[in-house]
Chain A
Amino acid sequence: MNSNTLPHIFRFLGLFIAQVLVLQNIEFERGVLSYVHPMIYPLFIILMPIKTPVPLVTALGFAMGLMIDYLYSSFGMHAGAAVFVAYTRSFVLNFLEPRGGYNVSYSPNAKRYSIRWFLQYSAIMLFLHHIFYFSLQFFAPVYIVPILLNTIGSMIVSFMLVAFFQIIFDPQD
């Protein structure tokens, strides 16, 4: 374990705590806000170093998802979405590869690349995560409208949180 790993462990735990202690309580009974279920923990997967092997990312996503599921008592939903987004991360990174290529030792963050690139990348990742999560939650194609509404509503808030996180903490590698 070297010094590079430590921030990721802290981020893992910090995001987990933020999710289950704060964001879990954001529940609205009715109205537009009832579609808002913000999720910040995918940021841990988003910010993992690019060279991390895909199986490890997938396994860590599964671990994070399971922990959150345990406290949400929604077994499988977050884990499934996290595993999905962790596995597809390599494809998204391939798709978004900048002209100069990646420096694979570092995280795909705004400092290494541009804030615009980072927001694009995290938006895609969040969208994949959210739509998969709500698909698992509703679990039937007939609920396509609530799935999309929840995805959009939650994504707006989650995306704002990720952007704030990036601006406030400006995570290093």
Chain B
Amino acid sequence: MRNLILYLLRYGSFVLFLFLEGICIFMLVNYNDSQKEIFLNSSGNLNGRVNSFTHRVGEIYGAHKELDSLATVVRDLRTQNLYLISLLEEIELTDSPAEDTTFSYKAARVIQNSTVKSNNFITINRGSKQGVYPRMGVVTDDGIIGVVRDVSNNFSTVMSILHRQSQVSCRIKHAAFFGNLKWTGLDPTVVFLEDIPKHADVEVGDTIQTSGYSRHFPVGLDVGKVQDISLSQGSNSYTIQVQLFNDMNNLEVVYVLEDQQAEELDSLLTIIENE
């Protein structure tokens, strides 16, 4: 109140001026026809402009609200999408690629992979808690991957077939001649099958599969096809160049093979050893 009085004392004449001019303008537009008309017209005009402006502001505000609701929808859809992806993963991880009662399959996801070293390892996201143990074979739908070497609670390292100490017993599909599958450390799409006898009937294009003698893998998993056959000087066996069916650079879901009959076979073999 005191401030108001001080303000009036200081700016009183200006306030009075505005007040009296206000009265004058009021009288002017109320008691004079032409001014009244102009005033009403222009105020109507102004009204229209203000209305359209507020309308636009409302539109913009509405658009913002719409954006907000759209953002909510997008967020919900994303959540749903993530949920569906996890469901799909579960489905992928529980499918078994083959029906072999001797072996059971545990799906796993590759979380680390390499093919460029001379001794390559793969890491998968299943470990001892999920029943993965060393010396289990690892395969995909297309071919073999390697053998589990070390396990932790939830992860395992797999010695890839692209490892120079890896040896898997394989055979030619139609003839049952068997040899060892090895890798020389160069091309990750090519491995070598050694010790196939010279008299074996092998041609380029023949399919190579597991023989079952390596107990990590069941019999008859297709591995690759013959690309080249060579016979070194003075040797009795072919060295067969095998093109792998699976792409070791492109692994996602793999299956760990558990031999259900391993204990039975082990106990049988120990009888022989003990004699």
Q: A residues within 8 Å of B by Cβ?
A: 53-55, 58-59, 62, 65, 69, 74-77, 79-80, 83-84, 87, 136-137, 139-140
Contacts and interface: CB of A to CB of B under 8 A. Distances in A.
Contacts of A69: 27
A126 to B, nearest CB: 19
B40 to A, nearest CB: 11
Interface stretch (B30-38, B80-88, B193-201): B30-38
B31 A55 contact: no
Interface string B4-39: 000000001110110011011111111110110011
Interface of A is mostly: helix
A77 B32 contact: yes
B42 A76 contact: no
Contacts, number: 64
B28 A54 contact: no
A83 B20 CA distance: 7
Nearest to A141: B42
Interface string B152-178: 000000000000000000000000000
Interface of B is mostly: helix
Given A59-B20, A87-B17, A76 B38 contact: no
A53 B9 CA distance: 12
Contacts of B23: 62, 76, 79
Contact of A75 (B13, B16, B27): B27
B32 A74 contact: yes
Contacts of B14: 87
Given A53-B13, A140-B42, A75 B20 contact: no
B27 A58 contact: no
Given A75-B31, A140-B38, A140-B42, A54 B24 contact: no
